[in-house]
Structure 1
Amino acid sequence: MINKNAPLLPEEVIKRARKLSVPLILDGVKKAKLDIPRDGCMYAEMKPVGTTRLMVGTAMTVETEDGDNLPLNVAAYSVPLEGYVMVVDGKAYKDRPYIGDLFERACQAMGIEGIVINGYSRDSEGTKEIGLPVYSLGLLPRGPIRRGEGNINIPISCAGVNVKPGDLVVGDADGVCVIPRELIEVVLDKAEEKLAYEEKRIALIARYVEAKKNGEELPELAPKEVIEIRSKYEL
């Protein structure tokens, strides 16, 4: 089954997400108290192959199996790639990889933001050279096969996370998260609140370092929850 891409997310959403990290976005899910499986966080095994630069884009999805990369090629050359992240449910197949650097180079030329594969990849040196964000479960030098058309732009599961075409996909050195399109605004709002909190904490720590160096009174660093617990024991 081949379906058209979901519309690209608004540019303002992409710009806001680019100012955040995957941990901050996941903190946003937690702060918003949303019922998203695993908070939208993919398994720890999903790791960057080459570059760890921030990846942000709109999800397009591919479902395949058994190391068959024909569905990925059908998707790459049949629907627009500009602004999208290709998220592939390869069923965590371990005997063949799904992509190498030739496929990645072509996708990069067509404007893709990144590729996330619930399966394996190869040609890691080439992946590092081109600088396209690629995430997979690991490396396997054996070649893929081409067998069937698979399914393109349907709801899938990838590394423990549900993904629908049009969702927000973000990746960095820590991993990958996916936020349902209808929940993006509230998650970004809460993530930006967490960013503001962290910036204040960093400034406070800097003041502590400066005060310690100058022999001045030290500001309190402990979070309020710690202060409350500590007070019970007169520490």
Structure 2
Amino acid sequence: MENDELHRRFEALTTAHLTDGCIRARLQVRCAPAGTRSAVPGGRVAGRVLPARHVGSVDVFLEALSSAEAGDVLVVDNGGRLDESCVGDLVAIEAATAGAAGIVIWGLHRDSADLRALGLPVFSLGSIPTGPLSLTARPADALDSARVGPWEVTPADLVFGDDDGVVFVPAAEAGDVFRLAESIRDTERRQADLIRGGTTLREQVRFAEFLRARAENPALTFREHLRAVGGAIEE
């Protein structure tokens, strides 16, 4: 999926829609750890993963950005450290100048006011004033992949972020995930409109019918019922 189409379609979706699309597509849901948020209020990001593993020096970011394509998202692995920041205003400005769509950090950032002024979406676990506190040996594959929480991501992945957090989707599966996410979004919008118009969600999903069927078949799940009646609230 080209970057232009990627951004256009994500503009009408949320990360929640995409995670639901992953579930419907039988894909593993890979979210950044809870609490990963944009330093820029309302920040949204979408693009190909550009990985970099931080070991205490900015050079790894500069090298990664040297090969960046417009719309890539710098994904920084700092091991989830909460005692130091690894990205500040200079790296963010450099990323913006290189055409990056944003930055996602498994760790912390600093220079929050400058980041807000720049406007580049920078997602992290939060902020702290101090920069890197130590320098360790750089692995040979520092630009091949990045770990974000329990997940290892590579340039074969896409990353999306909004007010709910960050999710990673295999680029090869993005078309199916988007199609399913858009279908779920449309169903939920219709359901919300009906609720506002006086038709309760219980009526829409025929909840009384589900309760009767479950009384006869205790193994029946609500998700099975929803699939049968066309609901989408749980996936």
TM range, normalised to the smaller chain?
0.7 to 0.9
Does the alignment pair 1:192 with 2:182?
yes
Distance 1:26 1:203 in 2: 22
Deviations 1:80-101 (A, max 9, x none): 2521000111111233211111
Deviations 1:28-81 (A, max 9, x none): 0111222x2xx021110322222323211111111123x4333112222x2125
Instruction: Choose from 7, 10, 13 the match for 1:20.
Output: 13
Please list, as runs of the form range in 1=range in 2, the aligned pairs for 1:24-173 lying within 5 A after superposition.
Answer: 24-34=17-27, 36=28, 39-65=29-55, 67-76=56-65, 78-144=66-132, 147=135, 151-173=141-163
Distance 1:166 1:33 in 2: 18
1:86 to 1:153, Cα distance in 2 relative to 1, 3 A: same
Give the structure-2-normalised TM-score.
Answer: 0.80
Q: Which amino acid aligns with 2:76?
A: V
Distance 1:16 1:62 in 2: 27
SS of residue paired to 1:116: strand
- Deviation (angstroms), 1:185: 1.4
- Deviation (angstroms), 1:145: 6.2
Distance 1:152 1:18 in 2: 31
Identity across matched positions, percent: 28
Q: Give the gaps of 5 or more residues in structure 1.
A: 1-7, 209-218
- Residues 52 and 61 of structure 2 are in contact (CA less than 8 Å); yes or no, is this contact kept in structure 1? yes
Distance 2:69 2:115 in 1: 18
- Residues 61 and 88 of structure 1 are in contact (CA less than 8 Å); yes or no, is this contact kept in structure 2? yes
Distance 1:135 1:60 in 2: 14
Instruction: Choose from 187, 201, 205 the match for 1:221.
Output: 201
Distance 1:26 1:162 in 2: 17
- Deviation (angstroms), 1:174: 0.6
SS of residue paired to 1:199: helix
1:228 to 1:48, Cα distance in 2 relative to 1, 3 A: same
Q: Which amino acid aligns with 1:73?
A: L
- Residues 63 and 71 of structure 1 are in contact (CA less than 8 Å); yes or no, is this contact kept in structure 2? yes
Which has the higher mean CA deviation after the structures are superposed, 44-53 or 186-195? Answer: 44-53
Give the structure-1-normalised TM-score.
Answer: 0.80
- Residues 38 and 162 of structure 2 are in contact (CA less than 8 Å); yes or no, is this contact kept in structure 1? yes
SS of residue paired to 1:171: strand
SS of residue paired to 2:201: coil
Q: Give the gaps of 5 or more residues in structure 2.
A: 216-235
- Residues 60 and 166 of structure 1 are in contact (CA less than 8 Å); yes or no, is this contact kept in structure 2? no
Distance 1:129 1:87 in 2: 21
Deviations 1:12-34 (A, max 9, x none): 33422232110000010111222
- Residues 70 and 146 of structure 1 are in contact (CA less than 8 Å); yes or no, is this contact kept in structure 2? no
- Residues 59 and 166 of structure 1 are in contact (CA less than 8 Å); yes or no, is this contact kept in structure 2? yes
